[in-house]
Every structure is written in structure tokens, then in C-alpha cells.
Amino acid sequence: MESPLAAAWTRIAALAARPDARDIAARFAADPERAARLTWALDDLSLDLSRSSIAAPELAALLALAEAADLGGFRRRLFAGEAVNATEGRSVLHMALRVPEPPHLHAHARASAWDQACADAVAERARMRRFVAEVHAGQLRGATGQPFDTVLNIGIGGSDLGPRFLCDALTQVHGPRLAPHFLANVDGHAFAGLARTLDPARTLILVASKTFTTEETMTNAAAARAWLAAALGEAAVGAHFAALSTNAAAVGDFGIAPERMFGFRDWVGGRYSVWSPIGMAVALAAGWERFAAFLAGGHAMDQHFRTAPFAENLPVLLALAGIWHRNALGAASLCILGYDERLRLLPAYLQQLEMESNGKSVALDGTAATHPTCPIVFGAAGTDAQHSFMQLVHQGSELVPVDFLLAAEPDHDRHDAHDILAANALAQAEALAFGRDRATVEAQMLAAGADAATVAAVAPHRVFAGNRPSTMVLFRRLDAFTLGRLIALYEHKVAVQGCIWGINSFDQWGVELGKVLARDIRPLLAGRETAARAPTAASVARLRALRMTT
């Protein structure tokens, strides 16, 4: 006899096997009110799933799947601070980083895991706020007495992608308080290019590494330290560096004073860390008010996810749509299109969030996962994407679901440009859903004066099959609060999908092997060792030969 979870998956498979499982146009023909029925909102933020092939039977089956996977129990354990990151024995409480700051919040010996996490987060946030205020007021200055006008964030992965995305998004309209720059790639060209543009006397450098041992970050930090010391002297290091880390000994050895170290607990995973002191560059560049609004937006989504019934819960519904596309329809990728220039780095941010979290093939019990998991995530800003990869999304041989994100009101006065932008987003979604059949193509070509032979030869290439699903996320304005809601929406979506797939969304062991092997290969490149697997040895030999001939 099937378990309830297996039975729920069987029901999904049966619905997917129906002849009309992908027919979006038929769904609209059967239900003219479909757009209203399949749109849910949290204040001004709405989620519209009507351009998918999900209808009442599919939605009911997906919600039953969530119940069978004990999503309710998972949600309770998550917010209670239980070790839902089972392979590392850790809680996952990054949501505590964005709680408000009530005056009574403090830790005590009998505090719950959640209360303790909130108290820790509030205390460290207060230290951050004082530091940001002192930098902005000119109370903290560089070694030459000049105020800082630039912040350089040195990190990689979650210590780079989140701050980079948010600084870009939140400073385009109002301009930065401090000009933000980022150094992630260990390739020496990256810092060489930055060093030519920065004034060391006016640059504040943040080294963002929880352990203060990440090889790429610490290599770049050492290069920045040497650059600064060469320009201003070794004694200047302490005035120009701050650490976003928990390794006090290593931070001190680097030359950074304890009062300039801002930490966070092990329940903060790297890809969830922009809410923590890792977001320091955001607060320095965009201002504390916007960073606080970003946190408030995340908290608002947390409260919604924590309390709303699954049938009205935006992260759950977005996750279930993704389950339908990935597991029922076999879509192996997901396209993210933010129709706003300020969302141009969102796809890169979501790549780590989704693929590092759910790019797993092993279930929590150590056996092989029974269903395909995370899709490949890619994307760009609209309308740019329409002139690059959208050809494949419309007419390629693979099904690629799309998430569209669009604001109703721009933060500029060119409303004609925003209307063109919005029209393009809606048109792309309509074209994907409904396509264009051959009869329509032929009629249009004949009306334009094409002869019958041309019509016969060209018409097949101009047919759009349609029935390609998309999700529409609309909101009033793209401000810091909305960005917080959006990122938290996707965070919880990822966690829900991990629960349903039966995998751990919060570890990232796949990142480790390459790092270990790189440490072994470095001596080979220097000629100090010779033992290596044949293809690696051959590549090393070729690289060394090329070095010797230049």
C-alpha cells in the first residue's frame, strides 16, 4: 500500500499524464475568471499563476502533496529553531536577523532558540547601526583624516552576491552615500582594475568571511591590505578595515580591532547572510534607513509565510508551481526576468539561493532522491533578455518556465518608457502562454502581400506553439521594503521545495570537493609535486610549458 506521500506524487503524475496537462489556452477557455482565481496578494505584492496549466485539480493535488510531505511540521520546526539542517546539526534562523527591535527583547538563560537568535541579531544590528552612523557623520575617518567616500566589500558567494545586488538596486535612483565596489574573483585582474580607480585614503574596506579563512576572500584581502599599506603605511590598516566575521583571533592577526568586527551565528548560511552584518556594505552605500526597510520587508514576508494557510501562502504557492513545472512537466530550467534595471543582478543572486540550496540528489535519509530537484536558474533584466535568450524560451525544444517581476510605478519621470517596459513584460507572458498558430501566421503574411510560395516556406518558422508557463509577480514600487519581501519570498519558496523533495536545502557539500582538490593542485602548478590524475597532470604540464615560453 502506498504511503500518503507516494500517493500524492502518484496523483501529480496522473494529472501530468492527461492530454491537456500543458494546455494553458484551454484552461482560460474553460474558466474566464481564471486570472482572478489564481492570483493571490500580500498587500500590494501579488502572485499570478494563471498563465500556467495549473487549475483546481492540479492545485488541490499540489496542496495535498505539501500536506503529505509534512510542510506544516517543517515550518514549525524551522521557526522553533530545531536543527532542520540535519547534515550539519544546525538551526536555520536567518529570519531572526530581520525581526523588529522591541525594547524588551533580550536573551536569558531559559530563552527559546528563536528568542536567543532574535536577541543576538538585535544586539549586533545595534552595533552595525552605530558604526554606519559614525562613518556617515565623518566621526570615523581614514588614517589621513579624510572622510570615507568609498566602501570596498571583499567576499565571495553569499558574502558578495547579496550585498552587490542590493547596493546596485538601492543606489541607482538616489545615489550612494558611499560609492560601493566589490571584489570577489581571486583572479588578480579583478583587484588590479579596482586599485586603479580607488583612492586608498578615502576607502573603507570590508572583509566578509564568516571563518576568515575563505581562500579567495583572504587572498584578495591580503592584496588590498598590501595596496593600502604601500600607499598609507602599515599603521593605516586598522583605520581602513572592518571584518564581517566570527573568527576573532584571525581578525586580530590581520590587524583589525575587535570593535570593528561584526559577527553572526552559525545558523546564518552564506546565501542567507545579506540580512546580517554581511549587509554592512548595503547600509553604508544606501543608508541605514533603506537597509532597515529591507529588513522590514523580509520580516513581513516571514510573518506571512509563518501564519498564512498554504492555499493562500505566497511562498508555498510559488514553490508548488515550481514543483508542477519541474516534476510534472519535466522543465529542467527556470528563467527569472525582472522588468526593472535595478533587478539585473537578481538572477545571479537567485542562482546561488536556489541551486546551492536545492541542487541535491541525495535525500535526507541518505538514499537517492526519488524525484528531480532544483532546475537550472538563469535570467536577465527585461527588455534586454528579449534580444538574447528569449528566442529559445519561445521557440526552443525545451520547456522553460519564466518568473516575471514588474513594478506598477517607476521611480523616474519617464512614464512613457515605463509603459513600454510593462507592455513588453505582459506581451512576453501572453506570447508564451498563447503563442501564434499557423493559420494566423499565414493570414498575416498574405495580408502583408507575401506570395503563396513565400508563405509556405516561411510560415512554419513564425509559428509559436504557446502553452509555455510563466508566473507574474507585480508590486507597486521597487523600494527597499519590496526587495526584502521578494528575497524572503524566494528564500521560503526554496525551503518549501526542499521539504517536498525530501532534501536538505541548507547545506552545500557540493562546494567543498573543488576547494579541496584546488589545494592539492596548486603545488603541481609551482612544480613542487608531480603526482596527479592523468588529465590534470596533462593540463598542468601544458600550462607550465606555456608559462615558460612567454
Domain ranges, residue 240: 128-286
**Helices 288-307 + 158-171 axis angle, to 10:** 110
515 is catalytic: yes
CA 523 distance to own-chain centroid: 35
Average pLDDT value over all residues in the chain: 95
With respect to residue 456, please indicate whether it lies within any of the assigned structural domains. no
Looking at 286, 320, 348, the residue that finishes a domain is: 286
User: In this structure, what CATH number is given to the domain that contains residue 544?
Assistant: 1.10.1390
Amino acid symbol at 504: N
Domain count, the chain: 3
Assigned C-alpha cell, 444: 498575416
Sign, CA torsion 52/53/58/62:
negative
Instruction: Please state, in angstroms and as integers, the Cα–Cα distance from residue 181 to each residue in 154, 161, 204, following that order.
Output: 9, 12, 10
Q: Residue 515: what pLDDT?
A: 85
196-220, pLDDT tens digit by residue?
999 999 999 999 999 999 999 999 9
Q: How sure is the predictor about 549, in pLDDT bands with cuts at 50, 70 and 90? A: low
Q: State whether residue 354 is helix, strand or coil.
A: helix
Which one from 409, 415, 515, 529 is the annotated catalytic residue?
515
Maximal CA-CA distance, the chain: 84
139-187, pLDDT tens digit by residue?
999 999 999 999 999 999 999 999 999 999 999 999 999 999 999 999 9
Q: Which residues contact 306 (CB under 8 A, 6 or more apart)?
A: 75, 79
Q: Work out the average pLDDT over 264-291.
A: 96
Q: Work out the average pLDDT over 363-369.
A: 96
Q: Residue 150: what pLDDT?
A: 98
Q: How sure is the predictor about 104, in pLDDT bands with cuts at 50, 70 and 90? A: low
Instruction: Please state, in angstroms and as integers, the Cα–Cα distance from residue 448 to each residue in 210, 214, 427, following that order.
Output: 63, 62, 22
What CA–CA distance (Å, rounded) separates 58 from 324? 8
Q: Write out the DSSP string of 447-496.
A: HTT--HHHHHHHGGGG-B-----EEEEEES---HHHHHHHHHHHHHHHHH
Q: Work out the average pLDDT over 357-374.
A: 97
Q: Residue 62: what pLDDT?
A: 98
With respect to residue 443, please indicate whether it lies within any of the assigned structural domains. no
Q: How sure is the predictor about 106, in pLDDT bands with cuts at 50, 70 and 90? A: low
What CA–CA distance (Å, rounded) separates 39 from 42? 11
With helix as H, strand as E and coil as C, how does 198-215 read?
A: CCHHHEEEEEECCCCCCH
Instruction: Specify whether 248 is located in the same domain as 226.
Output: yes
With respect to residue 158, please indicate whether it lies within any of the assigned structural domains. yes
Whether residue 105 is predicted with pLDDT greater than 60 in this model: the reply is: no
Q: Work out the average pLDDT over 57-79.
A: 98
Instruction: Specify whether 252 is located in the same domain as 304.
Output: no
Q: Residue 1: what pLDDT?
A: 78
Assigned C-alpha cell, 434: 498563447
Locate all alpha helices (DSSP H) within 310-437, ordered by sequence: 314-323, 346-351, 357-358, 390-395, 415-434
The residues pairing with 206 across neighbouring beta strands, listed in sequence order, are 153, 242
Q: How sure is the predictor about 417, in pLDDT bands with cuts at 50, 70 and 90? A: very high
Rounded percentage of the chain residues whose pLDDT exceeds 90: 90
Instruction: Specify whether 529 is located in the same domain as 488.
Output: no
With respect to residue 539, please indicate whether it lies within any of the assigned structural domains. yes
Q: Work out the average pLDDT over 247-254.
A: 96
Query: How, if at all, do strands 241-244 and 470-475 pair?
Result: unpaired
**Of 219, 195, 199, 198, residue with least CA distance to 209:** 219
With respect to residue 430, please indicate whether it lies within any of the assigned structural domains. yes
Instruction: Specify whether 496 is located in the same domain as 519.
Output: no
With respect to residue 507, please indicate whether it lies within any of the assigned structural domains. no
Looking at 254, 286, 318, the residue that finishes a domain is: 286
Instruction: Specify whether 423 is located in the same domain as 482.
Output: yes
Which one from 104, 108, 189, 387 is the annotated catalytic residue?
387
Q: Which residues contact 369 (CB under 8 A, 6 or more apart)?
A: 360, 361, 362, 363, 501, 502, 503
Instruction: Specify whether 428 is located in the same domain as 353.
Output: yes
Locate all alpha helices (DSSP H) within 17-70, ordered by sequence: 24-30, 34-37, 56-68
Whether residue 109 is predicted with pLDDT greater than 60 in this model: the reply is: no
Assigned C-alpha cell, 93: 534562523
383 preceded by a cis bond (ω within 30 of 0): yes
Burial of 139 (0-12, 13-18, 19+ CB in 10 A): exposed
Assigned C-alpha cell, 372: 528531480
Q: Write out the DSSP string of 315-346.
A: HHHHHHHHHIIIIIS---EEEEEESSGGGTTH
Q: Work out the average pLDDT over 11-28.
A: 96
Q: Residue 41: what pLDDT?
A: 98
User: In this structure, what CATH number is given to the domain that contains residue 9?
Assistant: 3.40.50.10490
Instruction: Specify whether 322 is located in the same domain as 255.
Output: no
* Residue 108 vs residue 103, higher pLDDT: 108
Residues in the chain, how many? 550
Query: How, if at all, do strands 203-208 and 261-262 pair?
Result: unpaired
Q: Which residues contact 457 (CB under 8 A, 6 or more apart)?
A: none
Q: Are 373 and 359 in contact, with CB atoms under 8 Å apart?
A: yes
Instruction: Please state, in angstroms and as integers, the Cα–Cα distance from residue 310 to each residue in 327, 404, 482, following that order.
Output: 19, 22, 22
360 is catalytic: no
Instruction: Specify whether 40 is located in the same domain as 156.
Output: no
Which one from 58, 356, 442, 491 is the annotated catalytic residue?
356
Sign, CA torsion 194/199/201/205:
negative
Instruction: Specify whether 222 is located in the same domain as 318.
Output: no
Whether residue 425 is predicted with pLDDT greater than 90 in this model: the reply is: yes
**Of 62, 57, 536, residue with least CA distance to 323:** 62
Q: Residue 528: what pLDDT?
A: 82
With respect to residue 77, please indicate whether it lies within any of the assigned structural domains. no
Looking at 231, 256, 286, the residue that finishes a domain is: 286
**Of 57, 121, 133, 128, residue with least CA distance to 93:** 121
Q: Residue 533: what pLDDT?
A: 86
Q: How sure is the predictor about 531, in pLDDT bands with cuts at 50, 70 and 90? A: confident
Q: How sure is the predictor about 108, in pLDDT bands with cuts at 50, 70 and 90? A: low
**Helices 314-323 + 480-501 axis angle, to 10:** 50
Q: Residue 532: what pLDDT?
A: 80
Instruction: Specify whether 55 is located in the same domain as 151.
Output: no
Q: State whether residue 262 is helix, strand or coil.
A: strand
387 is catalytic: yes
Instruction: Specify whether 348 is located in the same domain as 490.
Output: yes
**Full-model pTM:** 0.95
With respect to residue 530, please indicate whether it lies within any of the assigned structural domains. yes
Q: Work out the average pLDDT over 11-33.
A: 96
Instruction: Specify whether 328 is located in the same domain as 242.
Output: no
Assigned C-alpha cell, 249: 583571533
Q: How sure is the predictor about 364, in pLDDT bands with cuts at 50, 70 and 90? A: very high
